[in-house]
Amino acid sequence: MVPMAIIMVLFYFMILRPQKNKDQTFRSMIESLKEKDRVVTVGGIHGVVTNVQRDRDEVTVRIDESTGTKIRIGTSAIARLVTDEDKEKK
């Protein structure tokens, strides 16, 4: 019984807890989205947030500067925010 308890504790600290922290940081990133944030979608599309509709869980993203092309996506389709540090790496 003791080995099984040890395995369960290790499972919690190695798998469940890190995933929980990752989910929490993703939720806080989505909640802090605002206009003019640069984002990358799950599909790899880069764009600038132009409108956030929290009640519908929808974000409007401008994907082409020259023509002003915009798409509406669900907040769950956003993979990450592009920060100034990310731009400097390129």
- Tell me the CATH number at 32: 2.30.30.30
pLDDT at residue 86 in the model: 67
Is residue 78 a contact partner of residue 33, using CB atoms and an 8 Å limit? Answer: yes
Q: In this structure, how many other beta carbons lie within 10 angstroms of the beta carbon of residue 67?
A: 8
Sequence-ordered list of residues with C-beta below 8 angstroms from that of 50, at least 6 positions apart, any chain = 35, 60, 61, 62, 70
Q: What parts of the chain have a pLDDT lower than 50? A: none
What strands lie across the sheet with 58-62, from one edge to the other? 70-74, 58-62, 46-53, 38-41, 78-81
pLDDT at residue 88 in the model: 63
Is residue 6 a contact partner of residue 13, using CB atoms and an 8 Å limit? Answer: no
Radius of gyration of the chain (CA): 18
Report the domain count for the chain. Answer: 1
pLDDT at residue 87 in the model: 63
Containing structural domain, residue 41: 2-89
pLDDT at residue 1 in the model: 87
Instruction: Return the structure tokens found at 37.
Output: 């944030």
pLDDT at residue 84 in the model: 75
Tell me the per-residue pLDDT of 60-78, one tens digit each, with 9 for 90 and over.
999 998 999 999 999 999 9
